[in-house]
Amino acid sequence: MKRDCAVAVLPAASSSSVRARRRKPWVTPGRLGIYAFLLTAALFFLVPLYVMLVTSVKPMAEIRLGNIFALPLAPTLAPWHNAWQAACTGLECEGIRGGFWNSVKITVPSVLLSIALGAVNGYALSFWRPRGANMLFAVLMVGAFIPGQVMLYPLVRALAALDLYSSVPGIVIVHVIFGMPMMTLLFRNYYASLPQELFKAARIDGGGFWRIFFELMLPMSLPVIVVAAIMQVTNIWNDFLLGLVFAGSDNLPMTVQLNNIINTTTGERQYNVNMAATLLTSLVPLALYFFSGRWFVRGIANGAVKG
Amino acid sequence: MALVALGAYVLTMLWTARVSLSSARIFPTGDFVGLGQYERLFRNARWLLSLENLAVYGVLFIALCLVLGFLLAVFIDQQVAGEGMLRTIFLYPYAMSFVATGLVWQWILNPGLGIQQVARNLGFDDFTFDWIVQQDTVLYTIVIATVWQASGLVMALLLSGLRGIDEELWKATRIDGIPKWRVYVSIVLPMLWPSVSTALILLFVMVVKLFDAVVAMTQGGPGTASEVPAKFIMDYLFGRANVGLASAASIVLLLTVLAIVAPLYYARSRALERSRA
């Protein structure tokens, strides 16, 4: 049951039932070739996960033997424990848990705000069509493709002027700005697929901008909100560049701390701890992916510059 | 509200463009030096190397992702058992951050510990696979890691395209006796253009943004062998405090993106409209 929802892909999946009726003999050289290819590919994709998992439960003595593919002889959870609360992220040695909470503090408000703004923008652009809506839209499209570097320095200066540089509100604002084009596009396309008559009827009944939005559009937006939330949680959780620049040393997200753990350790490298930390950092997006498979795929398909 | 956001994009772009025409070092200055920063930029060996790296990386990364993604989609589309599980396996790396991806592959490719050592332990004493520490091959290791991460995305996009193709087409080609691989290459592939162009745009944006994976895997090394523009800009902005030069570099990057993505996007919307009509 769970696998089913993790797998069904994309809206068009329903047509696969038609295809399934095409009968064929099952064991032919061709089919063997197909499976050989797919299994090899699956191995290539699974190897890193396997390596991470087994290494993260090995004592260092076993890692020194130099066989990353071997199963652990004496599995231990100590590296996980270490990664969570003792590994050194630069000068401090309190593990990655601080980064975890920083990431939560950054991700939750950023996701909520960017979805809220994206929904209002998309709603305004598709139903109210303010003057210059097309211009706005074009700029948003450009915004979606701008390399972040173009905006980095001006944003640093602007946030510094507002006294928000190196703070949680600062990094949240930056995430909202960077997420706005995608979110607006997503909601605009969704609202464009709703019948215009619905909106007109609400107008005749005397609904205003906000009333129509909250009482009519928002309740109908649940599917697209789920998609938007998945996109934004993975994007923002996995972000490295913006967190590095804007979060400030007290609020570094998990990805930045992870990189610090691995690239600044002196002495012998604690590969088991490093891999446990990597897994811990990937846990949230991976869990999201495994539990929301179908929506995740729809999210990337929709986020993929539709329209 | 929208206006604020637009201000953020347009104003920052204009601001960066303006700074790129000044002699700014740590703080922006109001003077005007014309295209001086651009001249210096294109005399900077490190920038030229990073552009060259980006071109090589981009071509390899996009080509490999498309080929591998297409093959995976086509093979998965043959009514195989365990389709759902395979799809899950091929796509999960995309949920991970580039940092995590970079770190994992850095370990696997580490000559003293990873694949090379494993092969040597098995008795192949001369086996060498040390691309990640060699200047002329390090770039390929970044290609491997990022293709691992992104090709599942291409698979998902193309698979949804494949599922949208009419069953009649397959019947017709079977009656005509056209070999299946020919149908895929000559008929199906062109029909998939909207999905392919979506994938192309996404992959291209990933190429330009390439930064996290390089930092996590090689830190631009050995030496400057895996330097890329995004990292060059970051170094000059925050490490070397040369804002003018970094701004010029980011404007060059912006123009490159627009020059490539705009026509692609236009072609794609045309194709989408035609397929709807």
- The 3-class secondary structure across B94-157, one letter per residue, is HHCCHHHHHHHHHHHHCCCCCHHHHHHHCCCCCCCCCHHHCCCCHHHHHHHHHHHHHHHHHHHH
- Distance of residue A206 Cα from the nearest chain B Cα, in angstroms: 24
B225 touches chain A (CB under 8 A): no
Mean pLDDT of A241-256: 91
User: Do A269 and A185 fall within a single domain?
Assistant: yes
Does any domain span residue A220?
yes
Question: B 74-103 residues with CB below 8 A of A?
Answer: 75-76, 78-80, 83-101, 103
Over the Cα atoms of chain A, what is R_g? 24
User: Do A160 and A11 fall within a single domain?
Assistant: no
Nearest Cα residue in chain B from A27:
B80
Query: Is B80's CB within 8 Å of A38's CB?
Result: yes
User: Do A124 and A258 fall within a single domain?
Assistant: yes
Q: What is the pLDDT of residues B75-112, one digit of tens each?
A: 998 888 888 899 999 999 999 999 999 999 988 898 87
User: Do A20 and A166 fall within a single domain?
Assistant: no
Query: Is A45's CB within 8 Å of B98's CB?
Result: no
Out of A34, A136, A147, closest to residue B75 by CB? A34
Angle at A174 between CA A171 and CA A180, to 5 degrees: 140
How many Cβ pairs within 8 Å bridge chains A and B?
266
Q: Identify the structural domains of chain B with CATH numbers, from first to last.
A: 45-276 (1.10.3720.10)
What is the structure's pLDDT at A297? 82
User: Do A148 and A240 fall within a single domain?
Assistant: yes
Query: Is A149's CB within 8 Å of B230's CB?
Result: yes
Query: Is B79's CB within 8 Å of A238's CB?
Result: no
Which CATH number goes with the domain that contains A179? 1.10.3720.10
User: Do A12 and A107 fall within a single domain?
Assistant: no
Question: B 154-183 residues with CB below 8 A of A?
Answer: 156-157, 159-160, 163-164, 167, 170
Mean pLDDT of chain B: 87
User: Do A251 and A168 fall within a single domain?
Assistant: yes
A-chain CB neighbours of B219 within 8 Å are 263
Nearest Cα residue in chain B from A45:
B90
Q: What is the pLDDT of residues A261-298, one digit of tens each?
A: 887 756 677 888 989 999 999 999 999 999 988 888 88
B211 touches chain A (CB under 8 A): yes
Does any domain span residue A12?
yes
Does any domain span residue A132?
yes
Does any domain span residue A181?
yes
CB atoms within 10 A of CB A104: 14
What is the structure's pLDDT at A23? 53
Q: What is the pLDDT of residues A143-171, one digit of tens each?
A: 777 888 888 888 888 899 999 898 999 99
Does any domain span residue A84?
no
User: Do A139 and A232 fall within a single domain?
Assistant: yes
User: Do A295 and A167 fall within a single domain?
Assistant: yes
Full-model pTM: 0.87
Contact A41, B72 (CB under 8 A): yes
Task: Provide the number of structural domains found in chain A.
Answer: 2
User: Do A290 and A144 fall within a single domain?
Assistant: yes
Does any domain span residue A233?
yes
User: How far lies A244's CA from each of A254, A259, A276, B211, in Å?
Assistant: 10, 10, 22, 12
User: Do A33 and A113 fall within a single domain?
Assistant: no
User: Do A109 and A252 fall within a single domain?
Assistant: yes
Q: How far apart are CA B132 and CA B144, in angstroms?
A: 11
Does any domain span residue A283?
yes
The range of the structural domain enclosing residue A9 comes to 1-44
